[in-house]
């Protein structure tokens, strides 16, 4: 199955003093129709920036320095601005983490969804309104006619997120970038939203890039996983494989640290140290300073993937041993 969205060598930089510091280094992954790839990592690893870079929404003064993003073979990084605008929302849509601030506070939620439709399709006001109401029903917003005229502050977090989802899916995009869609919500609402996303994906066959730091969320929605650390992807693979037996020492550390895996009475295992900020990323393998398996050769090694049966891992130790950990 060929990929719907192919990201290769994506590098995004921000200025710091007189130089430019990469916050994304050589990011490569693929999204397939009907499947969900979870992009997992700590805050600051570059997950959100990846999504923004795909849509070319990196805030100034940052910019995408290198790499390619191909949607169905079309190179997005080379598109003109008007063409890129046609892609945004229509072919690749994004939903954000904080529904409270991500919706315009002085425009009704219904009107905001209508705007999303009107930006890409020539439909009458009435038709757009009808479609919005349908969308509201589909995403589970009760009493859609009344809610159409509501303002964001009048809705709960869960409802706002449903509005965001409705807005994102209004023109039936093929790729959905979901940046921590449930992080700001209650746990119970979280499950509902993820369930909704799963249903919608099954219906539309869209590809989803799910950005999250929560393995619980990964478990509920993801088909594949890509783990990010300090601006790089360190491991990819199918969800079950990775969760059952992670290859990269960082992933292993993350999974070991989950409370669910600890024995009672045991101290929770943690990865010593902290993830470096983009300015302080060391040469070679970025995880080497904290890695229990590191050797002196690691800081000198240029990170690249070792492919083992459909899974990829960027670790010198795995590369030299050529095995499944």
Partner 1 sequence: MVAYIVRRSFYALLVVLGVLFFLFVLFFAVTSPDDIARRAIGDKALPQVIEQWKHVHGYDRPLWPGPGHATDNLFVEHFERMLTFDLGKSDADNVPIARRIREGAGPSLLLTVPMFVFGLALSILVSLFVALFRETYIDRAGVLVSVLLMSIPMLLYIIFGQFLLSKVLRWFPLSGFDPEPAVVARFLALPVVIAVLSSLGSSVRFYRTLFVEEIYKDYVRTARAKGAGEFRILHGHVLRNALIPIMTDVVMTIPFLFTGSLLLEAAFGIPGLGSLTVDAVNANDFSTLRAMVFLGSLLFIVGQVLTDISYTLVDPRIRLQ
Residues making contact with partner 1 (CB under 8 A): 55, 57, 59-61, 82, 85-90, 93-94, 96, 98, 101-107, 115-116, 119-120, 151, 153-154, 164, 167
Neighbouring residues of 7: CB distance < 8 A, sequence distance ≥ 6: 27, 28, 29, 30, 50, 54, 67, 68, 69, 70
By beta-carbon proximity to partner 1, the closer residue of 193 and 254 is: 193
By beta-carbon proximity to partner 1, the closer residue of 94 and 193 is: 94
Q: Minimum CB separation from partner 1 for residue 307, in Å? A: 33
By beta-carbon proximity to partner 1, the closer residue of 153 and 244 is: 153
By beta-carbon proximity to partner 1, the closer residue of 112 and 220 is: 112
| Phi, psi for 140 (deg, rounded to 5) | 85, 30
Q: Minimum CB separation from partner 1 for residue 152, in Å? A: 9
Separation CA 239–CA 221 (nearest Å): 10
Give Cα 33 distance to the centre of its chain: 15
Q: Minimum CB separation from partner 1 for residue 149, in Å? A: 10
By beta-carbon proximity to partner 1, the closer residue of 26 and 91 is: 91
Q: Minimum CB separation from partner 1 for residue 282, in Å? A: 31
Separation CA 312–CA 37 (nearest Å): 14
By beta-carbon proximity to partner 1, the closer residue of 163 and 230 is: 163
Q: Taken in order 313, 314, 318, 321, is the CA torsion positive or negative?
A: positive
3-state DSSP assignment of residue 228: strand
Q: Minimum CB separation from partner 1 for residue 154, in Å? A: 6
Q: Minimum CB separation from partner 1 for residue 176, in Å? A: 11
**Count of CB atoms situated within 10 Å of the CB of 321:** 11
Cα dist from 265 to 259, 262, 269, 295, whole Å: 12, 9, 12, 32
């Amino acid at each position: 199955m060929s990929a719907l969205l192919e990201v290769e060598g994506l590098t995004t930089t921000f200025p710091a003093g007189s130089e430019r510091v990469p916050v994304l280094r050589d990011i490569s992954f693929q999204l397939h129709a009907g499947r969900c790839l979870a992009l997992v990592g700590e805050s600051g690893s570059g997950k959100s920036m990846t999504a923004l870079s795909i849509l070319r929404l990196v805030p100034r003064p940052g910019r995408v320095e290198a790499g390619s993003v191909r949607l169905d073979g079309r190179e997005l990084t080379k598109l003109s601005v008007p063409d890129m605008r046609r892609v945004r929302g229509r072919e690749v849509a994004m939903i954000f983490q904080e529904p409270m601030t991500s919706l315009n506070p002085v425009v009704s939620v219904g009107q905001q969804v209508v705007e999303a439709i009107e930006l890409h399709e020539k439909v009458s006001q009435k038709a757009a309104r009808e479609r919005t109401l349908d969308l509201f029903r589909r995403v589970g917003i009760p009493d859609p006619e009344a809610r159409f005229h509501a303002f964001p502050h009048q809705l709960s977090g869960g409802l706002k997120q449903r509005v965001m989802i409705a807005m994102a899916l209004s023109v039936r995009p093929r790729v959905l970038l979901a940046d921590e869609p449930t992080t700001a919500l209650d746990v119970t609402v979280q499950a509902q939203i993820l369930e909704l996303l799963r249903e919608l994906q099954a219906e539309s066959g869209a590809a989803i890039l799910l950005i999250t730091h929560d393995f619980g969320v990964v478990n509920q929605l993801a088909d594949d996983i890509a783990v990010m650390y300090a601006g790089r992807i360190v491991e990819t693979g199918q969800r079950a494989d990775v969760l059952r037996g992670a290859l990269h020492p960082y992933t292993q550390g993350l999974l070991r640290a989950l409370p669910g895996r600890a024995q009672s009475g045991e101290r929770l295992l943690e990865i010593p140290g902290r993830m470096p900020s983009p300015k302080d990323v060391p040469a070679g393998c970025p995880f080497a300073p904290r890695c229990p398996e590191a050797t002196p050769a690691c800081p000198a090694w240029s990170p690249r993937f070792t492919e083992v049966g459909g899974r990829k891992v960027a670790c010198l130790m795995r590369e030299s041993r050529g095995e499944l950990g």
